[in-house]
Amino acid sequence: MHSIPTYLVVGAGFSGAVLARELAESLPVRIVVVDQRDHVAGNSHTVRDPRSGVMIHAFGPHIFNTDSERVWKYVNAFGTFRPFVNRVKARTARGIFSFPINLHTINQFFGTTFDPSAAREFVAGLGDPTITVPANFEEQALKSVGRELYEAFLRGYTQKMWGCDPRELPASILRRLPIRFNYDDNYYEKRWQGIPEDGYTAIVARILDHPRIELRLGQRAGRDASGYDHVFFTGPLDAYFDHALGRLGYRTVAFERIDAGGDFQGTALINYTQPDVPWTRIHEHKHFAPWETHESTVAFREYSRETRPGDEPYYPKRLHRDVVLLRGYREAAESTRGVSFLGRLGTYRYMDMETVIGEAIAFAADVVARRRDARPPRVFPDSPA
């Protein structure tokens, strides 16, 4: 080992970058951060498009939203976040509507003029009263909004997004989606919402800009951790073990670029809910930076599909088979010395940026506390003490 303790952090996304920065500021250590890509920020990578000048979210839209003042202050210490409200539209067989389902959606869809109280009573009457405890996504939808709204807004999109029948998905997925009985069309309900003026990649680059951090891009790190006092792995948990137990299920996305003059769709995001339309949504990126002006525009059709070897994993499916595999991989990780796993891929959880950052800050603090007591870091952020 080195005379100065040296940590290896695998992955230069938010999880790895925040962890590295917090450890570098709290401990007399050397930290090497490696990433197989040629850029930092992982799937939140942003880049200025040379044709249009538009800031592109290279791996799909990322809107920062949080209720945590600590996390909000943390990211703003590394760059300026401009306010941004995500107003999603849904294109259905009957037209384009506001989404998530809100009072405007209900009145427009049914041709009514309900006030909040009347709309709540009306939607309650649409729900299936025979479903007491929803066992899956479809039952949760039928209980909450009834067959007509489910078919128009949720069933087709969900099938395309997850590549399976909604009856195979847990009810908890839909519980995260609000139904509003007012005219609030903000997709999120968090206190702070915004997008960095200079893009996410600039934010992560500044987080990693510390004299105790050495960044190595375009370099793949395997299981050989020789020369390091500890490894913090933020890549896919199953990949670390060479998929020895099988591959955890993920959905990935592919993009089809659309170049146009002026304005292509008039808003940042439109979901396509019809099952016979192959893409899930179209995002037009200049609308993610309304403070900028561009003569031309660029948009992307987004397609969801199963992750194959070599693909970037996006959304953990966490079906029954995956949960069983995950238990096996966690047991393997717990018996592996000198390695910790964190982040969306390392823990196989769907996590927003705010959750990733908050957990990395807390995990770093725990590492520091344990070092004072001469104890090794935990294997997972949620591991018991």
* Catalytic (active-site) positions: 176, 180, 251, 281, 302, 350, 352
Closest to 43 in 3D by CA, of 56, 32, 31, 53: 56
- Looking up tokens 């913090």, which residue turns up? 232
Instruction: Specify the DSSP element, H or E, that contains 55.
Output: strand 55-57
Q: Cα–Cα distance between 176 and 185 in angstroms, integer?
A: 16
Q: At what angle do helices 14-26 and 353-372 cross, to 10 degrees?
A: 30
Q: Cα–Cα distance between 70 and 67 in angstroms, integer?
A: 9
Beta-carbon contacts of 74 under 8 Å, excluding residues fewer than 6 positions away, are 18, 357, 361
- Full 3-state SS string of 352-383: CHHHHHHHHHHHHHHHHHHHHCCCCCCCCCCC
Q: Cα–Cα distance between 89 and 287 in angstroms, integer?
A: 13
- Looking up tokens 């509507």, which residue turns up? 97
